[in-house]
């Protein structure tokens, strides 16, 4: 019958008041949506948001190696005494071997050591005068070219070695400038440290490289 057909209808028409998930319900007026529609898919900005992309460059270095010429520091006073390269003024002493370990007591307050460096000279790294009463000394170097350095003064066991000549020297003059008791130097021993040539060393250097960092920024409008 025509009236029966309009009363029952299809299954979807008779249940329109309850609604299906994700649809608008006509009986309550509440709106819902399927997950992901209102928030947007991950990584995609909404209409109220914008994105900014860029990259940042960074420079760093990694250790590398290179081989350069260096030296081993050695005590040279033994060689200087053995080759009779050390003289003292005003009076030259005969017991120079005692300048290595035992110590020498001098009779004159004005004392100088004149050292001729054998084998065409050497690079001097340090000089020390050990004594029970020497307070200050002065050192003058003669270089390979024949020029003299400016006088270097200081404590006898702690001279400013950064003022020493960088190259070879052929002569060293050490003068005692002051003693603590105003008497002649006593218990004097010498130490001459030189650079032994021919050794090599490994020196750390840097090798540069560049990398970049990409970033992604979301900003709310």
Q: What is the pLDDT of residues 158-171, one digit of tens each?
A: 999 999 999 999 99
Task: DSSP letter for 87, please.
Answer: E
Residues 159 and 187 in one domain: yes
Residue 37's pLDDT is 40
Q: What mean pLDDT, rounded, does the chain reach? A: 74
Under 8 Å between Cβ of 67 and 199: no
Q: Apex CA 159: angle with CA 153 and CA 164, to 5°?
A: 85
The answer to the question of residue 76 being in a domain is yes
Q: Given a cut of 50, is residue 65 above it in pLDDT?
A: no
Say how far apart CA 2 and CA 204 lie, in whole Å: 100
Does 154 fall in a domain? Answer: yes
pTM: 0.60
Q: What is the pLDDT of residue 71?
A: 84
Same domain, 148 and 77: yes
Give pLDDT, residue 4.
Answer: 42
Q: Of residues 157 and 69, which shows the higher confidence score?
A: 157
DSSP 39: T
Distance from C-alpha of 100 to C-alpha of 104, rounded to nearest angstrom: 9
The pLDDT of residue 16 is: 38
pLDDT digit string, tens, across residues 4-24: 444 343 434 334 344 444 444
Q: Is the same domain home to 142 and 180?
A: yes
Do 169 and 91 sit in the same domain of this protein? yes
Exposed/middle/buried for residue 211 (C-beta within 10 Å: 0-12, 13-18, 19+): exposed
CA neighbor of 191 nearest in space, from 72, 74, 75:
75
Range of the structural domain that residue 49 is part of: 2-56
pLDDT tens, residue by residue, 202-214:
344 444 433 344 4
> Given a cut of 50, is residue 134 above it in pLDDT?
yes
Check whether residue 41 and residue 86 sit in a common domain. no
Mean pLDDT of 111-134: 97
């Amino acid at each position: 019958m025509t009236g029966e057909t309009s009363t029952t209808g299809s299954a979807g028409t008779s249940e329109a008041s309850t609604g299906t998930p994700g649809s608008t319900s006509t009986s309550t007026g509440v709106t819902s949506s399927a997950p992901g529609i209102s928030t947007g898919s991950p990584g995609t900005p909404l209409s109220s948001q914008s994105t900014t992309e860029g990259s940042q460059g960074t420079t760093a270095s990694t250790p590398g190696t290179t081989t350069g010429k260096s030296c081993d520091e050695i005590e040279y006073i033994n060689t200087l005494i053995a080759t009779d390269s050390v003289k003292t003024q005003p009076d030259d002493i005969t017991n120079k071997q005692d300048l290595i370990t035992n110590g020498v007591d001098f009779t004159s307050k004005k004392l100088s050591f004149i050292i001729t460096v054998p084998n065409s000279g050497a690079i001097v790294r340090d000089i020390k005068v050990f004594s029970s009463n020497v307070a200050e000394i002065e050192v003058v170097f003669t270089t390979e070219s024949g020029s003299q350095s400016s006088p270097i003064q200081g404590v006898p066991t702690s001279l400013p070695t950064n003022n020493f000549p960088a190259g070879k020297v052929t002569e060293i003059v050490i003068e005692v400038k002051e003693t603590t008791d105003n008497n002649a130097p006593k218990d004097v021993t010498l130490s001459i440290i030189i650079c032994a040539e021919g050794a090599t060393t490994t020196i750390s250097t840097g090798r540069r490289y560049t990398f970049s960092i990409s970033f992604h920024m979301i900003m709310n409008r």
